[in-house]
């Protein structure tokens, strides 16, 4: 485990590092913020103007989102019900690839989250519980739609592996496991960000007629979605 303080948002970064054409200070990704967190070191301004929270209702504390502040708009866009509940993960026993492909099904909120990135005041923070799986898919889709290379998208995704010890420390400090839950029995890939898991999703998008843009249009994306993303990010 690292010695990073528990009062800093974990796994936070500006995705502009993936491509020199991207404007800094527009799209950030992270694990879930906690009440009482200090100002993060990884970004130049805080709090974000817009938050896209991908967690299910069961994952949000009773006090509500800690960044629901004056000047910050928080949007709840659950991608998978109870996706961050360790007990539910134990029951499912699905591989990460299976979980990721399930998030490509209609009605999951994936394209809704991308629409919010395209249209909301920046900086936009996209997060789930760990900032790894659900966040990883939303960010990957945004980046591929604006033309960031497959290699750069996978490299950004893989950065989360180094952040996972801090992510787990913070999650356990604020949300103790329910009785009978045992993280040690979960597959190791749940605690890393192996590029091959996201690559399976990129393969689906790349193989679609029209590539990632064609996939987004076929699954309900607005015809001008890519244009709005480019205007926002490039």
Token pair belonging to 233: 């990010």
| Within a domain: 168 | yes
Domain count, the chain: 1
Which residue carries 């597959």 as its tokens? 187
- The pLDDT of 57-79, averaged and rounded, is 91
76 has pLDDT over 70: yes
**163 domain-assigned:** yes
Residue 220: give its domain's CATH number. 3.90.190.10
Residue 217 confidence class, pLDDT cut points 50, 70, 90: very high
Percentage of the chain exceeding pLDDT 70: 88
- Asked if residue 174 has pLDDT above 90, the reply is no
Alpha-carbon distance of 139 to 145, in angstroms, equals 10
Burial 108-133 (b: 16+ CB within 10 A, else e): bbbbbbbbbbbebebbbbbbbbbbbb
Confirm if 117 and 142 have CB atoms less than 8 A apart: yes
Q: What is the pTM of this model?
A: 0.92
- Please report whether residue 122 resides in a domain: yes
pLDDT value of position 188? 83
Model confidence pLDDT, tens digit, residues 97-113? 999 999 999 888 999 99
Whether 8 is covered by a domain: the verdict is no
Domain span holding position 117: 13-233
Task: Determine, yes or no, domain membership for 1.
Answer: no
């Amino acid at each position: 485990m690292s010695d990073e303080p528990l009062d800093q948002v974990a796994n936070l970064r500006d995705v502009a590092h993936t491509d020199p054409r991207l404007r800094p200070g527009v799209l950030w990704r992270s694990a879930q913020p906690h009440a009482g967190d200090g100002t993060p070191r990884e970004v130049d301004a805080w709090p974000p103007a817009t938050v896209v929270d991908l967690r299910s209702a069961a994952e949000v504390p009773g006090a509500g989102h800690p960044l629901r502040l004056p000047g910050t708009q928080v949007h709840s866009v659950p991608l998978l019900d109870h996706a961050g509940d360790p007990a539910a993960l134990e029951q499912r026993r699905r591989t990460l690839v299976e979980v990721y492909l399930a998030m490509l099904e209609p009605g999951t909120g994936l394209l809704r989250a991308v629409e919010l990135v395209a249209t909301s005041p920046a900086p936009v923070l996209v997060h789930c519980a760990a900032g790894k799986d659900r966040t990883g898919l939303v960010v990957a889709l945004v980046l591929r739609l604006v033309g960031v290379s497959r290699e750069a998208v996978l490299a950004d995704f893989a950065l989360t592996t180094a952040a996972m010890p801090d992510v787990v420390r913070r999650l356990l400090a604020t949300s103790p496991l329910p009785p009978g839950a045992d993280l040690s029995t979960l597959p190791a890939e749940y605690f890393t960000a192996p590029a091959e898991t996201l690559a399976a999703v990129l393969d689906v998008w790349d193989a679609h007629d029209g590539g990632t843009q064609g996939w987004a249009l076929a699954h309900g994306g607005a015809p001008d979605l890519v244009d709005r993303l480019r205007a926002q990010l490039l």
